[in-house]
Amino acid sequence: MFKLSFVTISFILIFVNQSFFSQCTVLGNSLPTSYISNNSNKGEMFNIVATNTVTILCFDLNLILGSNGNYEIYYKVGSYVGSESNAAAWTLIGSNPSVPCIGFDVPSPMNIPINIVIPAGQTYSFYVTATNVAATTGIRYTNNAGYTTIASDANININGGIGKSYPFGTNFNNRSFNGTVHYSVGNVLPVTFKKFTATQLNEDVLLYWETESEKYNEYFEIDRSSDGIQWQKLFTTKAIGESQLVTSYQEVDQNPLNGTNYYRLSQIDLDGTRTLLQIISWEQNPLNELKTFHIYPNPTTELVKIYGESNELEEVAIYNQIGQNITLDLNIKFQNSYLEIDLSKQKKGFYILKTKTLSQVIIKE
């Protein structure tokens, strides 16, 4: 009987100077709310209801006068009501470490790409917040008498909201969002992005990403950094270009940096427009840990042998490309000095082998 465990891969979204990436466009629409504020806090939650399918591009906000600090934007499908303090229900879109206040009761651009498509008839909620608890950074808003429509046009309604202490802290009900929502009608994203992962592959790093659809997509670019600030181009990967099916890509970093590696995935259109998709981090393990067990042959077509210390191989789990634990579906035999795994009935692709303390990738050809 196998002990099951989860693969742990560190993910992080860090947005730095975004002038390099595609931001709001003058070709889109803008819906401002009232900028007549009478209160403030670290953050605010509000809803956007789409009458027609729209792509939310970015926000301007009413910020505390004189402030300059770090801000984050989260989103979730559905209303914020009932999930105000449930951080697990929200997904971080990105952050900007230096958002200046332009003035009192006027729009201050957040410069954080959102690029979220809201289908017609659906409600998505957003949480925008300053992150420095001690500093004077924060968001201005207006007290109201209850949940209300703050602004609307032919395509979207802005509804809500509530003030929030950071992070996902105290609720301050009946607070109207002061800001401008920039959007385009329809799904204008060239890529419907699914995921980006980094996984240990012996002494290398396997970088894997998926898209759900693509249009006018020319190529992807992966940059690497040791600090999330200074970046170096690592890979340029040709895109399939046009597709309505799930498409997967992968590259292998054969010389990862010691310590933390940040990988930045960007997408470039046929016209040269660049969009930042995601930034993840991966921690390089010492070489002596990497050699605790060995996989042979890798890649494999059917059988693979795992050599290692017996106590390390006491706990074994195999995960497929979408994170499902398939251990119990496999024929695994334990020998004196190794264990043998039969992947002959599995699809081509990569699989994650998790032992007691380590994880590596097995490639099925």
One-letter-per-residue 3-state SS of the chain: CCCCCCCCCCCCCCCCCHHHCCCCCCCCEEEECCCCCCEEECEEEEEEEECCCEEEEEEEECECCCCEEEEEEEEEEECCCCCCCCHHHCEEEEEEEEEECCCCCCCEECCCCCCEEECCCCEEEEEEEECCCCCCCCEEEEECCCCEEEEECCCEEEEEEEEECCCCCCEECCEEECEEEEEEECCCCCEEEEEEEEEEECCEEEEEEEEEEECCEEEEEEEEECCCCCCEEEEEEECCCCECCCEEEEEEECCCCCCEEEEEEEEEECCCCEEEEEEEEEECCCHHHHCCEEEECCCECCEEEEEECCCHHHCCEEECCCCCECHHHCEEEECCCEEEEECCCCCCEEEEEECCCCEEEEEEC
Between CA 353 and CA 365 the distance in angstroms is: 16
**CATH level 3 topology of 191-283:** Immunoglobulin-like (2.60.40)
Position 187 scores a pLDDT of 83
pTM: 0.59
Between CA 351 and CA 324 the distance in angstroms is: 10
Position 358 scores a pLDDT of 76
- Render each residue's pLDDT in the chain as its tens digit; 365 residues: 333 333 333 333 333 333 333 345 556 899 999 999 999 999 999 999 999 999 998 999 999 998 888 899 999 999 999 999 998 888 888 778 888 999 999 999 998 888 888 999 999 999 999 998 778 899 999 999 999 999 999 999 999 999 999 989 999 999 999 999 999 999 887 787 878 888 777 678 889 888 888 888 899 999 998 876 678 999 999 998 888 888 888 898 989 998 888 888 888 988 888 777 777 778 776 544 444 677 878 788 888 888 777 777 888 888 887 778 898 889 888 876 678 899 988 888 878 888 877 777 888 88
Q: Please, what CATH class does the domain formed by 288-364 belong to?
A: mainly beta
Q: Which residue has the tokens 């979220």?
A: 116
Provide the b/e sequence for 94-104 (b: ≥16 CB within 10 Å).
Answer: bbbeebebeee
Residue ranges per structural domain of the chain: 18-185, 191-283, 288-364
Q: Which residue has the tokens 């195999």?
A: 318
Position 7 scores a pLDDT of 32
Q: Is the peptide bond before 161 cis (omega within 30 degrees of 0)?
A: yes
Burial of 10 (0-12, 13-18, 19+ CB in 10 A): exposed
Position 21 scores a pLDDT of 36
Q: Please, what CATH class does the domain formed by 18-185 belong to?
A: mainly beta
Position 362 scores a pLDDT of 84
Q: How many CB atoms lie within 10 A of CB 325?
A: 17
Whether the CA torsion 73, 74, 77, 83 is positive or negative: it is: negative
- Tokens representing 135 are 């500093």
Position 18 scores a pLDDT of 35
**Is it true that 18-185 and 191-283 share their CATH fold?**
no
The gap from C-alpha 132 to its chain's centroid, in whole angstroms, comes to 21
